[in-house]
Each structure stands twice: as C-alpha cells, then as structure tokens.
Amino acid sequence: MRPLIRIERVSKTFGSGLPALREVSLQVERGEILGIAGRSGAGKSTLLRMMNLLERPDSGTVEVAGRELTSLAPRELRAARQEIGMIFQGYNLLQNLNVADNVAFPLRLHGRLNPPRLRQRVEECLALVGLTGKARSYPAQLSGGQKQRVAIARALANQPAILLCDEPTSALDAETTRGLLQTLQAVNTELGVTIVIVSHELPALGALCRRVAVIEDGRVAEDFLLSDLSTPRSTALGRELAFHGAEAAAALHQGALHA
C-alpha cells in the first residue's frame, strides 16, 4: 500500500547557511506511530514541519495522501491541511477563548458544521481526551497536561488522518506524560490516526512508537522498527532506544488512560 506521507530528497537551509535538512527521504505508513529522535539542532522539528508544509523545502517533494504539497495552490494546500492536525510543546492555545471555543476554532474556520453539530463535535472531542467537565474553563485555569489535551482535542476536531506532535510532553512531569502518551496511543488505535512524534525523551518514544527515525546533522542516520531487537543499531540514540523500548512500553500500559 502507498505510504500516507512520502518525503523525497528534501533539503532546507535557513539564513544561517548550515543545512537543517540534507536530502532527507522518509515514509510514514497509514496507521503507524513514527518517532523522530535526535540531538538538539539535528533537524527533527524542521522535518516534522515539512509534513504539513509549515516549513517549505528548498528542494525535494512532500506527498501526503497522494497529493504533492509543494505543488498545491494556497487554497488546495489549506484543504490538504485539514487532513493533518498538529500539537506543540507550548500548546498554542488561544488564551482569550475558553476550552470549548478553542476546540471549535478550526471547525468554525472551516465552516462546514451547523451550530448544533458543531457543539456535538466539540463535546465528542473533549470526551475523547477526558476533559468533558472543562468546556467553560480558560487555558490559564488548566494544568499543563490538561492544556495539551485541549490542544489534542482541537487538532482532532476536523477528523484528520494524521497528528503531528512536536515535543508534546517536554513541559510535563513524568506522571502527566504517561497519561498523555496513553491518550495518544488511544487516538492511534481507536481512531486510526497516524501519528508522527518528535521528542528528545527516549522513554516516551520507546513506549509509544512502532518505528523510530534517528536524525543526525539533517540526515536520517537510521530508521528502524522497535520490535527488531536482532539488528545491531548504528547510532548511540538507536542503541539507547532499543534498550529503553520494551521497558517503557510495559510501563505505559499500566495505570489509567487519563491521568
């Protein structure tokens, strides 16, 4: 089957002159959870942001669900992005809107649902992330974990096929992180959403991901299934991941879904 995301020979250099990505090729299969690991500055976020064209490559192609994003007109690109939700380390919530209105924001932008259906969709999304009672709260009244759950609900409002996660647990404590990873796992298994997650937290990647790509100096240094314990890993991060993976996955499956 055709991969859901296909990145081919993508390069990107910012003003500083050093390439952030060097002819990177990477595929993401429909339904999988792919982790992107790498040291600070390796190019992880830039690669993730290529997947919805928040960053535009200098060269190479980015195909999502059979559409080559770099060749789309702005209007077509907006439509293609409906398929791709994203969450960030800093949550990016609108502080002056309550939780329900934050989740409703992309639905209103798109304008496809009438008011009763829109309210229903917001309730569904909040139930999905365990925040039913918080619809009228404002972001400032929520914990970090709750804010990230609102961000997930908002990212899923338009029923995307893909959820891109940029360091989603970096600002959270260990227990909250575990609850959030369980939510992401449920989003994948119960809704079938394909997830790509950038994180410097190897236990989080080990617990959640089926496959991990290790980025070094703007290149994919290795790309492997965490279940493959027989092939020697070629990078230090790959070896650490192989070591942590099984243990972290077992820990994730203990405890409540919504911490």
Site residues, ligand ATP (CB under 6 A)? 14-16, 20, 38, 40-46, 200
Short-list 19, 35, 20, 25, CA closest to 5: 25
All residues at 6 or more sequence positions from 225 whose CB lies less than 8 Å from its CB, including other chains: 210, 211
We find the least distance from the C-beta atom of residue 83 to ligand ATP, in angstroms, to be 23
All residues at 6 or more sequence positions from 15 whose CB lies less than 8 Å from its CB, including other chains: none
> How would you list the strands of the sheet with 33-38, edge to edge?
84-88, 162-166, 194-198, 33-38, 211-216, 219-225
We find the least distance from the C-beta atom of residue 218 to ligand ATP, in angstroms, to be 7
Per the DSSP assignment, residues forming a β-bridge with 27 are 6
Nearer to ligand ATP, 38 or 160 (CB): 38
Do β-strands 211-216 and 194-198 pair in parallel, antiparallel, or remain unpaired? unpaired
DSSP 53-105: TSS--SEEEEEETTEEGGGS-HHHHHHHHTTEEEEETT----TTS-HHHHHHH
Q: Which residue has tokens 């791709």?
A: 84
Nearer to ligand ATP, 40 or 230 (CB): 40
Nearer to ligand ATP, 50 or 131 (CB): 50
What stretches of the chain show up as alpha helix (H) in DSSP? 44-50, 74-81, 99-110, 115-128, 144-156, 174-191, 202-208, 236-252
We find the least distance from the C-beta atom of residue 195 to ligand ATP, in angstroms, to be 17
We find the least distance from the C-beta atom of residue 202 to ligand ATP, in angstroms, to be 13
We find the least distance from the C-beta atom of residue 116 to ligand ATP, in angstroms, to be 41
We find the least distance from the C-beta atom of residue 197 to ligand ATP, in angstroms, to be 12
Nearer to ligand ATP, 14 or 159 (CB): 14
Nearer to ligand ATP, 15 or 74 (CB): 15
Nearer to ligand ATP, 19 or 106 (CB): 19
